[in-house]
Amino acid sequence: MLVHQFLETNAEAYSYREALVHLEGRINYLDLERSANRLANFLIDCGLRPGDRVGILLDSSINYVISYFAALKAGGVAVALNTATTSRIVKSILSDCSASVLIVHRQYAHFLKDIIDELDSLETVVIDGHYERLERKKSLRAENFFDIQLNGSSERPSVNLAPDDLASIIYTSGTTGNPKGVMLSHRNLQANTDSIVEYLNLSYEDRVMAILPFFYSYGNSLLLTHIRVGGSLVIDSRFAYPNVILELMSRERATGFSGVPSTFAILMHKSRIHDYRWDHLRYITQAGGPMSPALTLKIMEAIPHVKIFVMYGQTEASARLSYLEPEKLLEKIGSIGKAIPGVTLTVRDDKGSICPPGATGEIVARGDNIMRGYWNQPEETKKVLKEDGLHTGDLAKTDNDGYLYIVSRKSDMIKSGAHRISPKEIEEILAEHGDVVESAVIGIPDSILGETIKAVIVLKQGSKTSPRDILKHCRLNLPAFKIPKIVEFRENLPKTSSGKIKKHVLVEEHKE
């Protein structure tokens, strides 16, 4: 089955059931599919060929979902970009995947202004909302989203695709600093979607409160699982005001809620969660980094009748790799559970042998959900996709019952809130500041975000640069969530005899 057939099947089976609820309105399955068809037909008319990349620069919204499914229906590969971005990142991603189409909200169209002449492969831009003309030397077809919906044909387009064709590329921070495009086929996404549907026991009666952005794999899996079963998504990304979200969840009688550890930390400490009864809420899921057992216990206390699923995964696995059954949460607290249906997880030592219970090794995953590789990066792909499966880079051990416990991560990626941040990318930006000799960017513990970013910097002798100047430089070159919270200047950085910066020494300084 192809991913857009999730929508097509339910447009027939549950035509008038509500698919999406958002500030901008509500839409049922039939209208959602027809809207996606109109945009897909337009893309085909523009010359989109199977396998061509379609960039999407929209916040989670009804139009995002229309765009995502339209890209697939037209045979394209959906490349959703994080909207907290810079022109530089937009250029780097659209150039890397040679996107021929970009669907962009007017709010983010300004990112294109200075780079549009450098995006050689871009032929068509669809703008959601009114925006002044986009000027480019080379010809460019620019169309308004609304006009396409007004005039387009809602006939279902017919494009020949196979399950192993690419459906999506999700860019994720790489350890090298450059984002890596994770290539996911229709088969990858379908396998993972069906597996999640099975263990969460999702049905058409489920209504998930979706606060996570759809451009990340966790948010994407919420979208696909609920469209797969004919359920509903209540979309609102204003989690900055948690009480607004709680009120909406209550009003819309959401049956599910998904978040990362910082989501639950904010809910437990800074919201009115205790003022509601939550009789409609059936389950919550948590992924995106380890959550402290103390916080897990607090959630159990606050909503005792709700099933809590602790999950683990990677973008490279379409989203999900393991989950802990709610019934085992107390007994196995701190565990990420066992492999989800259709996936095999093993813990292996450096020689590739399976570790006995209690011994630490790397988690290696196999299954139909494992990515096809990194776009245009065969060498990086070879490092993680090996004969025995996907090497996750996460170190873990199992207990005698086969439950997995993460010990540490091999890479030094920072997990802050819902974001996975490459220290290297920030260090490269810092290096562009004229007064910075060298720097080490690390994640330090934060009670709400999990980790927060700290930059330890060595300045040129006699430099008058202040931490404020550094932050200003970062602000100009990085999206807000990648800007260090703490900047510290030092005379030198701890190093090994071969001159490698000993980041673990800097990290240790922040451990209790």
Partner 1 sequence: MDIKTDVRNFIVDNFMMGMEPGTLADKDSLLNKGIIDSTGVLELVGFLEETFKIQIEDQELVPENLDSVDKIAAYINKKQS
Contact (CB, 8 A) for 395 and 362: yes
Of 448 and 505, nearer to partner 1 (C-beta) is 448
Under rule CB under 8 A, residue 54 binds partner 1 = no
Of 86 and 411, nearer to partner 1 (C-beta) is 86
- Measured from the CB of residue 240, what is the shortest distance to partner 1 in angstroms? 4
Give the range of 2-10, 212-220, 242-250, 376-384 binding partner 1 by CB under 8 A: 242-250
Query: What are 393's two structure tokens?
Result: 């880079």
- Measured from the CB of residue 238, what is the shortest distance to partner 1 in angstroms? 6
Under rule CB under 8 A, residue 472 binds partner 1 = yes
SS3 state at 324: strand
Distance separating alpha carbons of residues 33 and 66, to the nearest angstrom: 8
Under rule CB under 8 A, residue 433 binds partner 1 = no
- Measured from the CB of residue 141, what is the shortest distance to partner 1 in angstroms? 28
SS3 readout for 97-118: CCCCEEEEEHHHHHHHCCCHHH
Burial class (CB in 10 A: 0-12, 13-18, 19+), 479: middle
SS3 readout for 225-286: HHHHHCCEEEECCCCCCHHHHHHHHHHCCCCEEEECHHHHHHHHHCCCHHHCCCCCCCEEEE
Of 178 and 237, nearer to partner 1 (C-beta) is 237
Of 86 and 144, nearer to partner 1 (C-beta) is 86
> How many whole angstroms from its chain centre is CA 112?
22
Distance separating alpha carbons of residues 105 and 113, to the nearest angstrom: 14
Of 274 and 502, nearer to partner 1 (C-beta) is 274
Q: Which of 241, 349, 357, 383 binds partner 1 (CB under 8 A)?
A: 241
- Measured from the CB of residue 432, what is the shortest distance to partner 1 in angstroms? 14
- Measured from the CB of residue 276, what is the shortest distance to partner 1 in angstroms? 12
Under rule CB under 8 A, residue 238 binds partner 1 = yes
Q: Per-residue x/- marks for partner 1, 86-125, CB under 8 A?
A: ---------------------x------------------
**In Å, how far are 4, 275, 348, 377, 413 from 389, measured between CA atoms?**
27, 47, 11, 18, 21
Q: Per-residue x/- marks for partner 1, 61-90, CB under 8 A?
A: ----------------------xx------
Q: Per-residue x/- marks for partner 1, 269-298, CB under 8 A?
A: -xxx--x-----------------------
Contact (CB, 8 A) for 245 and 209: yes
What one-character-per-residue DSSP string does 118-141 give? G-TT--EEEEES--PPPP-SS--E
Helices (H) then strands (E): counts for the chain: 14, 27
DSSP H or E segment with residue 348: strand 343-348
Binding footprint of partner 1, residue count (CB under 8 A): 28
Under rule CB under 8 A, residue 466 binds partner 1 = no
Under rule CB under 8 A, residue 468 binds partner 1 = yes
Which of 473, 512, 507, 472 has its CA nearest to residue 493?
507
Query: What are 246's two structure tokens?
Result: 């709680």
- Measured from the CB of residue 485, what is the shortest distance to partner 1 in angstroms? 9
Angle at the Cα of 354 from the Cα atoms of 353 and 360, rounded to 5 degrees? 105
Q: Which of 354, 407, 480, 486 binds partner 1 (CB under 8 A)?
A: 480
Distance separating alpha carbons of residues 178 and 484, to the nearest angstrom: 18
Give the range of 94-102, 127-135, 241-249, 396-404 binding partner 1 by CB under 8 A: 241-249
Burial class (CB in 10 A: 0-12, 13-18, 19+), 253: exposed
- Measured from the CB of residue 497, what is the shortest distance to partner 1 in angstroms? 38
Under rule CB under 8 A, residue 475 binds partner 1 = yes
- Measured from the CB of residue 472, what is the shortest distance to partner 1 in angstroms? 5
Under rule CB under 8 A, residue 448 binds partner 1 = yes
Of 146 and 241, nearer to partner 1 (C-beta) is 241
Residue in the structure block whose two tokens are 């451009």:
215
- Measured from the CB of residue 99, what is the shortest distance to partner 1 in angstroms? 22
- Tell me which residues in 378-417 interact with partner 1 (CB under 8 A): 417
Give the range of 162-170, 234-242, 326-334, 487-495 binding partner 1 by CB under 8 A: 234-242
Of 49 and 472, nearer to partner 1 (C-beta) is 472
Q: Per-residue x/- marks for partner 1, 162-201, CB under 8 A?
A: ----------------------------------------
- Tell me which residues in 306-345 interact with partner 1 (CB under 8 A): none
Contact (CB, 8 A) for 224 and 189: yes
Query: What are 12's two structure tokens?
Result: 């027939």
Which of 357, 315, 364, 316 has its CA nearest to residue 339?
364
Query: What are 74's two structure tokens?
Result: 């037209």
Angle at the Cα of 399 from the Cα atoms of 393 and 405, rounded to 5 degrees? 35
Q: Which of 113, 132, 151, 244 binds partner 1 (CB under 8 A)?
A: 244
Of 122 and 470, nearer to partner 1 (C-beta) is 470
Under rule CB under 8 A, residue 138 binds partner 1 = no
Could you list the residues that contact partner 1 (CB under 8 A)? 83-84, 107, 238-244, 262, 266, 270-272, 275, 417, 448-449, 468, 471-476, 480-481
